[in-house]
Structure 1
Amino acid sequence: MNKFHSSEIIQGSQLESVRLTAIKKLAQQAFKPRTDNYNLQGDALESWSKNADSMGRFLSQERAEIKKFQLAKIRSLVDNAYKNVPFYRELYGACGYEEGGISSFSDFEQLPIVNKGLLSSFDARMIVNDPEALELANTSRTSGSSGKPFTIYSDDDDIVLDHLQVMRFYNSCLQRPLQKHDWIYMLHHSGLAFSSLHGMYRTFQLPDLLPSTPLGEHLMLLRPKLLVTLPSYLPLILKHKAEVKMSGVEAILTNSESSTQLERSYYSQALGLPVFDEYSSEEVGLIATQCAHGQYHAIEDGVYLEVVNADVRGYGNVVCTDLNNELMPLIRFDHGDVARQKLEPERCACGSDCTTLYEINGRRDDAFRTREYHLVPSASILAAVDDILVTPDRTLEAFRLTQKSAETIELMTRYVGAPHKKMEEILLQLKERLSCLFGYSIELLHREVDALPEQKSYKRRSIVREWELN
């Protein structure tokens, strides 16, 4: 077996400095997905070797060809869901749908829109096309930014396709094919499905970036070509500007948190490197990726994207249909995010003729701040909650974290059964994780509620900052 994990990269006598030992300890906290196994890596490598070129050409096809492909996928997806998934059988049957009823996108857009709240109210066997496959299915359980836990089921084919689409995005950011020996360096709580493909296209992951992390020293050692990060970490990365440049990093990619083009342009100029953003979700995977001209283009061999109920400025709700996940179909799925779509059909200067978004305003959590008023990344806080509360516990129905002061955070929860551990253990583990992110010890209060208080927001937020620096 020829696999690489983050912890294996920090070894050898020349790396046993105190500073790089800190990197090793942090890297060992990264979650290793069950998909990261030799056989599935091999499937992904074989598929990439065969299909990388055609995948690269797909997104620059004529728009008519892209839409022809999508409509065929949608017809098959809807009919299969209607026949094999009890939830969709009931939902579409109530609308008068009959098998073969999709002959145009207009037909498709008459189907009901679904969301996480609706799907999570049904037993898992009701929302998949093969209940017998659930035991072996790949799962991810996330709260997103809504505070409502939700489990996604997928098969191996979906995992491989999603990974290959990510690799294609890496190629576009580099403006060249990713080489087998190139490293990807991830400053992110959520890693890729595979740490490498049989030792090629390797990734190194740090789940968090702290002010004391010797990032520049390690970049000089590993010399990655791509740096994938939360936008919140860009100020810390800038402190290692010289090493970032000297190590050979060619591009920086951001995801998981909202950031503005003005912010990314500032750090791009300051670091002397292009910064590209991606729009993705735990439920669907890649939705749209940013090109060198600042436009977000939908990944149209993986998702059918709609912006519905747009206001006078063109902002509407993002509705996605996952074209890859046949085990648990997500058809006309409302993410709760808001975006503005480019309506005039026009090929971008980058060569893409895909659906284009001007701007995405999603994942609007209130970022926490330290007593020095430094930002604590929302995505890292959500990752801590997912790891400690959400993933291991199916009885957690909803939660919210509220920052009351520089040192005090309140956790509100609603359980529909007994928690998976004693609450004292859960709170201690979460307090330690949050204190690490803040850089000092915080006080964690807990309150069990019958229902989370409603908020004046276009979607429920799970992270709220009530404290302001005087």
Structure 2
Amino acid sequence: MSTINITETAPIRNVEADAARSEEIEPFIRYSQRKKAESRPAQARLRRRWDFEKRHVRRAVWQLEQETDRAQLLRIRELVDRAFVSHRFYRDLYASVGYEPGAIVTWDDYEALPVINKRALIDGGFGEDVEAMYPAGMLHSARTSGSSGLNMTIYQDDASVEYRHVLYMRHCELMLRDTLQPTDWRYGIYFVAERYTSLLGDYPFVTVSQDVPVDILIRNLAEVRPRLVLTLPSALQRLAETRIDLQEFGVQAVGTNSERSTKEERLHYSDTLGVPVLDEYSSEEMSLIAYECGERRYHLVEDSGRFDVHGADEEGYGHLVGTSFGNASMPFIRYDQGDVVQIGQAGSQCPCGSRFRVLTSFRGREDEALADGQGTVAADAVLGLCDATLVDAEANVLQYQIVQTARDRVVLRAQPIDRALGLETRPVRKFVATLPSLFENVRMNVTVEQTDDFDRFASGKRRLIIVAMDGAR
């Protein structure tokens, strides 16, 4: 274990200045504006924790299902009892179903707990109660709304933030399929800066705006030479359009997050950019939920939380309900964030080596499903058609959005790569002709609209599918 003097008063490394090697990139560098700023003692504590725990968290990915199951149940027992004693919201909720401390002995006991959602937490004043429990300035905070439009502040203590960060560093190693070295740069293209820009100068992480002009971005990548790039899919799209080989800049992998992307899109980006492009599935509430391995399978991050399907139909699809292990101060227990998924059987080992369970299908949020009379067309079916048509290079589509504006009307909003060629291409025509076949109860009319302006969530993230029956987006 390393011995680092946390009382040392030297300033933290100015990673942003190190990365801004030319004046042209400076306006696009993201600086942290978090209420609780990173500090040298915090960096030192996290560095010690990473050095101490990295072997254990690396090994956890390969451990047997029974070991993972046992470790999860022990953590949940402690978490639920602590929440019952410490938080009014859970005390009232669990008391209403006869819960007493120590009641969780088996998984059946856990699954008997009520399922909660964001609306219940907001209505119950959960966030306000958590904030009042701690001295001012002690907690980290992040704002989230997702696609629900319900704004909620997520609070975390230092230990929880550090635990999440340790797992995220392992996540970076899984994308690289190699050990992350202290000298390795990570390069983010995102809305906000990373919480920790380095660990006492090592493991540097710089973030630039998603709006950076692509020529400036490429020159900065050539200067910084990051080993890993982490980005929004919409920002990666502009980089892929240049068809540069990222390996020439020292990049070995790209991770996508925050926005919905499809497998075919990522395969296309991988071929175009010359490095693996792998996705992550996460949220502010649950932290890391699943990661895409090199075999193109989504593995649940079993030491980040316990994730199960609730209310499964005959095909095994249901709501993802999770309990996060990464937030002791504001626990999310049996939390439904609105995603419809299918989870595979446990017990098998992926060719990548992981024994973590596999999220076999992700249908997305319920509000992404196109309306089909009294039924719906799931987002994965629509995006599967997009993969087979709009992702094709012959489609001449740079980016797209599917908008249902009425019961019987869908608009494909798309930006062409070559304006002269436009959208009258064979793949686009195939999309228009095929989409109506996905609807059983409505005779759907599909039109195409050329645009450079796409609707986004309030957070700025792109939206691939929008249901706006009143015509408002």
**Residue 6 to residue 240, structure 1, CA distance change in 2 (3 Å):** farther
Once residues 17 and 68 of structure 2 are traced to their aligned partners in structure 1, the CA distance between those partners, rounded to angstroms, is: 42
**Residue 374 to residue 317, structure 1, CA distance change in 2 (3 Å):** farther
**Residue 53 to residue 317, structure 1, CA distance change in 2 (3 Å):** same
Report whether the alignment pairs 1:109 with 2:118. no
Corresponding residue for 2:17? 8
Write the mapping of 1:169-188 to structure 2, written as runs, cut at 5 A.
169-188=171-190
**Residue 356 to residue 25, structure 1, CA distance change in 2 (3 Å):** same
Any idea what SS the aligned residue of 2:47 has?
A: helix
> What's the % identity of the aligned pairs?
32
Write the mapping of 1:207-218 to structure 2, written as runs, cut at 5 A.
207-218=209-220
**Residue 35 to residue 112, structure 1, CA distance change in 2 (3 Å):** farther
Report whether the alignment pairs 1:373 with 2:382. no
Q: Which runs of 5+ in 1 are unaligned?
A: 376-403, 413-429, 439-456
Corresponding residue for 2:271? 269
Report whether the alignment pairs 1:98 with 2:100. yes
- The answer on whether the counterparts of 1:308 and 1:316 sit within 8 Å (CA) in structure 2 is yes
Any idea what SS the aligned residue of 2:415 has?
A: coil
After TM superposition, give the deviation of residue 245 of structure 1 in Å.
2.4
After TM superposition, give the deviation of residue 34 of structure 1 in Å.
2.5
**Residue 118 to residue 42, structure 1, CA distance change in 2 (3 Å):** same
Once residues 85 and 306 of structure 2 are traced to their aligned partners in structure 1, the CA distance between those partners, rounded to angstroms, is: 21
After TM superposition, give the deviation of residue 128 of structure 1 in Å.
3.4
Once residues 104 and 35 of structure 1 are traced to their aligned partners in structure 2, the CA distance between those partners, rounded to angstroms, is: 41
Q: Tell me which of 342, 346, 353 is aligned to 1:340.
A: 342
Corresponding residue for 1:385? none
Corresponding residue for 1:70? 72
Write the mapping of 1:381-396 to structure 2, written as runs, cut at 5 A.
none
Amino acid at match of 2:121: L
Map Cα deviations across residues 233-286 of structure 1 (whole Å, 9 max, x no partner).
232111344352210100010111111112111211222211111110011211
Corresponding residue for 2:170? 168
TM-score normalized by structure 1? 0.75
Flag the structure with more relative contact order, 1 or 2, with Cα contacts below 8 A and sequence separation at least 6.
1
Report whether the alignment pairs 1:305 with 2:347. no
- The answer on whether the counterparts of 1:238 and 1:271 sit within 8 Å (CA) in structure 2 is yes
> Please, what is the CA RMSD of the aligned residues?
3.4
Q: Tell me which of 120, 123, 137 is aligned to 2:122.
A: 120
Q: Tell me which of 335, 354, 371 is aligned to 1:352.
A: 354
After TM superposition, give the deviation of residue 359 of structure 1 in Å.
2.5
Q: Tell me which of 231, 234, 248 is aligned to 2:233.
A: 231
Say how many residue pairs are matched: 391
**Residue 39 to residue 464, structure 1, CA distance change in 2 (3 Å):** farther
Amino acid at match of 1:266: H
Once residues 292 and 87 of structure 1 are traced to their aligned partners in structure 2, the CA distance between those partners, rounded to angstroms, is: 41
- The answer on whether the counterparts of 2:254 and 2:277 sit within 8 Å (CA) in structure 1 is yes
Corresponding residue for 1:194? 196
Once residues 222 and 456 of structure 2 are traced to their aligned partners in structure 1, the CA distance between those partners, rounded to angstroms, is: 40
Report whether the alignment pairs 1:56 with 2:58. yes
- The answer on whether the counterparts of 2:57 and 2:170 sit within 8 Å (CA) in structure 1 is yes
Amino acid at match of 1:181: T
Corresponding residue for 2:372? none
Once residues 20 and 170 of structure 2 are traced to their aligned partners in structure 1, the CA distance between those partners, rounded to angstroms, is: 31
- The answer on whether the counterparts of 1:30 and 1:206 sit within 8 Å (CA) in structure 2 is no
Amino acid at match of 1:373: Q
- The answer on whether the counterparts of 2:46 and 2:162 sit within 8 Å (CA) in structure 1 is yes
Once residues 311 and 126 of structure 2 are traced to their aligned partners in structure 1, the CA distance between those partners, rounded to angstroms, is: 30
- The answer on whether the counterparts of 2:36 and 2:137 sit within 8 Å (CA) in structure 1 is no
Structure 1 residue runs of 4 or more that deviate by more than 4 Å after TM superposition: 28-33, 124-127, 210-213, 363-372, 404-412, 461-468
- The answer on whether the counterparts of 1:139 and 1:151 sit within 8 Å (CA) in structure 2 is yes
Any idea what SS the aligned residue of 1:186 has?
A: strand
TM-score normalized by structure 2? 0.75
After TM superposition, give the deviation of residue 9 of structure 1 in Å.
2.7
After TM superposition, give the deviation of residue 312 of structure 1 in Å.
2.9
Once residues 44 and 229 of structure 1 are traced to their aligned partners in structure 2, the CA distance between those partners, rounded to angstroms, is: 24
After TM superposition, give the deviation of residue 344 of structure 1 in Å.
5.0
After TM superposition, give the deviation of residue 207 of structure 1 in Å.
2.6
- The answer on whether the counterparts of 1:84 and 1:129 sit within 8 Å (CA) in structure 2 is no
Corresponding residue for 1:278? 280
After TM superposition, give the deviation of residue 333 of structure 1 in Å.
0.6
- The answer on whether the counterparts of 1:406 and 1:467 sit within 8 Å (CA) in structure 2 is no
Q: Tell me which of 76, 85, 88 is aligned to 2:87.
A: 85
Any idea what SS the aligned residue of 1:252 has?
A: strand
Report whether the alignment pairs 1:47 with 2:49. yes
Map Cα deviations across residues 341-383 of structure 1 (whole Å, 9 max, x no partner).
11253121222222210122336769599997279xxxxxxxx
After TM superposition, give the deviation of residue 10 of structure 1 in Å.
4.9
Any idea what SS the aligned residue of 1:47 has?
A: helix
Corresponding residue for 1:292? 294
Amino acid at match of 2:224: L
- The answer on whether the counterparts of 2:143 and 2:151 sit within 8 Å (CA) in structure 1 is yes
Corresponding residue for 1:387? none
Any idea what SS the aligned residue of 1:280 has?
A: strand
- The answer on whether the counterparts of 2:287 and 2:326 sit within 8 Å (CA) in structure 1 is no
Once residues 470 and 67 of structure 2 are traced to their aligned partners in structure 1, the CA distance between those partners, rounded to angstroms, is: 47
Once residues 92 and 374 of structure 1 are traced to their aligned partners in structure 2, the CA distance between those partners, rounded to angstroms, is: 54
Any idea what SS the aligned residue of 1:146 has?
A: coil
Once residues 88 and 272 of structure 1 are traced to their aligned partners in structure 2, the CA distance between those partners, rounded to angstroms, is: 49
Mean alpha-carbon deviation: is it higher for 157-166 or for 298-307?
298-307
Once residues 118 and 209 of structure 1 are traced to their aligned partners in structure 2, the CA distance between those partners, rounded to angstroms, is: 36
